[in-house]
Structure 1
Amino acid sequence: MQSAADTLLAKARERYEAGDRMTAMKYYEEVLKEITIQLRKFSQQVQNAMANRAPAERPYGKGKAASSGRRPAAGQDLDSILGSATSDEAQVDTSVPAIIRRVAILLLVGSGLGVALWFLGLEVLFPKGI
């Protein structure tokens, strides 16, 4: 059974090979519309199948790792992800002095590395021995 998109695609190929590019392009646009309609119908069928499955069945695409006791990221706030500065289990210290210290270290390392690479580049481009 040939779909409407297949017949339109065959017509578009014929028109393209005959040299009628504009008509072929119109047929190709109609093929894309038909494909979009078919994909929408397929998506609706998948949604219906997901809604009608038995509740005891495992959801499609979920493996064993996804079903472990982790909460989804949408239900978490920033404190639960990073940890707060006052909690005992904070992985990253989010206090203002700690942030300032990390930024200062980053700037010092970046500046030092930049200066070192600058002089290394000068030495490579303009060697003293020549």
Structure 2
Amino acid sequence: MYARDNPAGANDLQQRLPADSQVEAASEMLRMLADGTRLRLMWLLVDGEHDVTALVAALGVARPAVSQHLGKLRLAGLVGVRREGRRALYRARGGHVRRLVTEVLYAASHQVTGTPEHD
């Protein structure tokens, strides 16, 4: 008997799959992080709150572009915003998002530098 002939095993695996809505939301988050500017923005927002002026200065990208990227990240649920008077302060939203950004950049660092992976 081949593994492909075992419908019970396939059914067990199928039940472990995440819901379609969860996969779609995760795919959208990953699409947002697939842009270099947005990933850099997220890296800066992992460590705390920053306004658009500070982000523009750090990235060297035009203000309208930074604002547009922040809007997309907000819609995807990756960034939160808090008002302080007339200033809008942006931050990475939640521990899962912060860990995702941190881990993907650390994994990339291992790949680029040839540093061995760790478990």
Q: Rg larger in 1 or in 2?
A: 1
Higher fraction of strand: 2
- TM bracket (short chain): under 0.3
Give the TM-score normalised by the residue count of structure 1. Answer: 0.21
Give the TM-score normalised by the residue count of structure 2. Answer: 0.23
Higher relative contact order at CA 8 Å, sep ≥6: structure 1 or structure 2?
2
